[in-house]
Structure 1
Amino acid sequence: MIILKRFLLMLQFMTTIPIPVNLDVNDEDFGKGLALAPLIGLIIGGVVAGAGYILNMFFAPAISAVLVVITYILLTGGIHLDGLGDTFDGIFSNRPKERILEIMRDSRVGTYAVLVTVCNLGLNAVLVHSIISAHMYFTLILMPVAGRIGSVAGAAVSKYARSGPGLGKSFIDYCGLKELLVSAIISIIAFTAVRGVTGAFLCIFMYISAALLVKFLGRKIGGATGDVLGAVCELNQTIFLIVTYLLVFR
């Protein structure tokens, strides 16, 4: 039952799918539930891939690609995109650590947040266009899995950067090696089922990519926050699309 509870918790937190269940959860459930994030990615990927397949029946691939990206945003509520924007506003402000953390928590949107969000979504749309044009819908299934690999791997290899409380603290404090291994098993099975042996190696690469990203983004603040984990999710997802494009089209 605890696994089901944590699965539903992650589904409620990471998507806008209506789950009319009131869950009795604590900080540990958030952190340990992150092990199931790749499963949530599979659900998101299934919806996104299905949308891409249907949209491509009625629209040109370029239009379908933009609509697929919009579908993804609606399905996730833009929660990780918000973290991406906040993280870049903070780390590119060239301020001391505490000021960076204040900027990241500020609800106002800065120049770097707008720039990185526009660039990231634009690049995703172009890459998805190539994928849809080639009818490679399986890639869209794995895309959100690669992103959620970023969140769980990032949490597992990081320490919490803030001195006070925050939702990211729950994830980082309670997501450790066990959760990383569980997520890896789920992810490797998914990648291998869709892409074979190549998928397994690609999955391992995505974990390495996530670890490097979280270290890079967290170097100025001495760790990670919830925003940083969101940023790693979105960036890892884009890296997956870029690598897939290079493997298939070049």
Structure 2
Amino acid sequence: MKAVLQGCILAFQFLSTIPFRKQCEINESTLKWALRSFGIVGLIIGGALLGVLTLLQGIIPSYLLAVLLLTIWVLLTGGLHLDGWMDTADAAGSNRSIEEKREILKDSRAGSFAVIACILLVIWKFCLLYFLADSKSQDGTVLLTAVPVLARLQALWLLYKHETFYQRGLAFYWKRNLTFLDILISMIILIPFVLIAKAVLFLIIIQFLFTYLYGRWASKSFSGINGDLVGASIEGAEVWNLAVLSIYILYVTA
């Protein structure tokens, strides 16, 4: 039980800014439970977004609500995955060799591609959140909680299916302790979603398509993955899921 609790806390410490000051042991057991808790971190983030949306929808203008939701989203993750998104954009946009792209990933400075990619990501998230805030779909509102959950679960699948291009770093240590059983355990969190809203199955299926396409692109562009690419996949998956959710609301529940 101690390993379960410490693993869950480690997941929050690695993936969010939610304050857990407890010092946790880092070993094979706690790392496994940290990986299994990725979805729980997403659930807390999604739950916070759902709470704000439910409380303020119809009370404040939808555009302000969308800005507030986006701000909370960034604050809860500390911009960690956004940093990976920007580093990935700089590397991918450089049109250099694979080795040079990998070196660019390690550079903390933001180039023009990083800035452009960040602006586009924020615009897309804002527009999709605005659509959701302006929507009267109850299913769509509830499914907002599933968006960050699915984005973090797909990161596990990405780690499981693709090799890291360095035998060091956070992504390598995560992958070394990740098994298919861990992924199955992490996915238990989706059962309540399926029972509450069957439409989440649609999101899950389409999410697999995103992870497959992203994984193929990362393998071709970088011959593997690292922490930045995994972080970028979370940001990309969140936008993808918001877009799919918006299409579902627009064409299925309308």
Q: Pairwise mapping of residues 30-179 of structure 1 onto structure 2 (< 5 A)?
A: 30=31, 33-56=34-57, 58-135=59-136, 136-162=140-166, 164-179=167-182
Structure 1 position 32, deviation (Å): 5.3
Residues 4 and 33 of structure 2 are in contact (CA less than 8 Å); yes or no, is this contact kept in structure 1?
no
CA distance in 1, matches of 2:109, 2:248: 39
Deviation by residue 1:137-186 (Cα, 9 ceiling, x = unmatched): 31321121121123111111111112x42111112222231222222332
Normalised TM-score (structure 2): 0.90
Residues 143 and 200 of structure 2 are in contact (CA less than 8 Å); yes or no, is this contact kept in structure 1?
no
Code of the residue aligned with 2:25 in structure 1: it is D
CA distance in 2, matches of 1:10, 1:244: 26
SS in structure 1 of the partner of residue 220 of structure 2: coil
Normalised TM-score (structure 1): 0.91
- What's 1:184 paired with? 187
Percent identical pairs in the alignment equals 28
Code of the residue aligned with 2:207 in structure 1: it is M
CA distance in 2, matches of 1:234, 1:180: 20
- For the structure 1 residues 31 and 119, does the alpha-carbon distance in structure 2 shift closer, same or farther, using more than 3 Å as the test? farther
Gaps of 5+ in 2: none
Residues 149 and 207 of structure 1 are in contact (CA less than 8 Å); yes or no, is this contact kept in structure 2?
no
Aligned residues between the structures: 247
Structure 1 position 58, deviation (Å): 4.1
- For the structure 1 residues 27 and 90, does the alpha-carbon distance in structure 2 shift closer, same or farther, using more than 3 Å as the test? farther
Structure 1 position 52, deviation (Å): 2.2
- For the structure 1 residues 67 and 239, does the alpha-carbon distance in structure 2 shift closer, same or farther, using more than 3 Å as the test? same
Gaps of 5+ in 1: none
CA distance in 2, matches of 1:194, 1:60: 28
CA RMSD of aligned residues (A): 1.8
SS in structure 2 of the partner of residue 129 of structure 1: helix
